[in-house]
Amino acid sequence: ELKVEQNPLFLSMQEGKNYTIYCNYSTTSDRLYWYRQDPGKSLESLFVLLSNGAVKQEGRLMASLDTKARLSTLHITAAVHDLSATYFCAVEHGSGNTGKLIFGQGTTLQVKP
Amino acid sequence: GAGVSQSPRYKVTKRGQDVALRCDPISGHVSLYWYRQALGQGPEFLTYFNYEAQQDKSGLPNDRFSAERPEGSISTLTIQRTEQRDSAMYRCASSLQGGLATDTQYFGPGTRLTVL
């Protein structure tokens, strides 16, 4: 059974600091996603990572994937208050585009001025 | 353009009643997904359609839950004889086509179901 674990689950940081959120998963998968969710809102897609060594960047967020270690990271550079949200990683269950995403517990990021 | 829409946004029902939740995917999206999200948790997969065909229903908790997408567009998730443990946010997502390597699921606003 595929399990997805994120850490930390809660992160409070100062503006301007850097930090990394980790996502570990238990079995081989073809695709890994990062989503953002603001309080009371829906999920917004951030990144899709497909292959070992894949790196994607958008603004202050950078995601990477190590399929051998079954690990993805979401790195936050020089955090700003607008980045405060809950971040989920999700891994596709099985192989061959199954459509079934298994989500982590989420990491709630609070950026303080 | 218009995103995924869901109705109703809030539903309060009494235990034992049936409820039907509706999802209208992004126009042209082949694949449609249902998830359930408990407070403070990530979404939990329920079921998935390509066009009108239900591809995977392994996440439906029991036989009180069913879903259909008869014309390959709008989908309905039905919960019969609701129980208090069914209370959650039910989210629908759609994607262009699940078979594409870079396919991304776009989520709707959800229906908050409360069973009294």
- What is the structure's pLDDT at A93? 86
pLDDT interval class at A105 (50, 70, 90): very high
CA dihedral B93, A103, A33, B103 (to 10 degrees): -30
pLDDT interval class at A99 (50, 70, 90): confident
- The residues, ordered by sequence, that sit 6+ positions from B53 with a Cβ below 8 Å of its Cβ are none
How many angstroms separate the CA atoms of A32 and A5, rounded?
13
Q: What is the DSSP letter of B26?
A: P
Residue B98 has pLDDT above 80, yes or no: no
Residue B16 has pLDDT above 80, yes or no: yes
pLDDT interval class at A96 (50, 70, 90): low
Question: Is A21 at the interface with chain B, CB within 8 A?
Answer: no
- What is the structure's pLDDT at A51? 81
Nearest CA to CA, how far is A113 from chain B (Å)? Answer: 24
- What is the structure's pLDDT at B97? 81
Query: In a 3-state reduction of DSSP, which class is residue A82?
Result: helix
Cα–Cα nearest to A64, from A45, A43, A86, A89: A89
Mean pLDDT of A17-31: 92
Write the CA distances from B72 to A50, B86, B103, integer angstroms. 28, 26, 18
What type of residue sits at position A85?
A
B105 contacts in chain A (CB < 8 Å)? 33, 45, 99, 101
HSE, side-chain direction, 13 A CA sphere, residue B6: 26
Radius of gyration of chain B (CA): 13
Question: For residue B15, what are its two tokens?
Answer: 């235990």
Question: Is B107 at the interface with chain A, CB within 8 A?
Answer: yes
- What is the structure's pLDDT at B1? 60
CB contact under 8 A, B99 and A97: yes
For residues A107 and A12, is the Cβ–Cβ distance under 8 A?
Answer: no
Residue B101 has pLDDT above 80, yes or no: no
Question: Is A97 at the interface with chain B, CB within 8 A?
Answer: yes
Mean pLDDT of A78-107: 91
Question: Is B110 at the interface with chain A, CB within 8 A?
Answer: yes
Residue A95 has pLDDT above 80, yes or no: no
User: Residues A33-92: pLDDT tens digits?
Assistant: 999 999 989 999 999 998 888 899 999 999 999 999 999 999 999 999 999 999 999 999
CA angle in degrees (0–180, nearest 5) for A88-B110-B42: 25
- The residues, ordered by sequence, that sit 6+ positions from B62 with a Cβ below 8 Å of its Cβ are none
Return the residue matching tokens 């950026």.
A111
User: Residues B33-90: pLDDT tens digits?
Assistant: 999 999 989 999 999 999 999 999 999 999 999 999 999 999 999 999 999 999 999 9
Write the CA distances from B22 to A98, B35, B55, B90, integer angstroms. 23, 13, 19, 10
User: Residues B104-116: pLDDT tens digits?
Assistant: 999 999 999 999 9
A103 contacts in chain B (CB < 8 Å)? 42-44
Question: For residue B25, what are its two tokens?
Answer: 């995917």
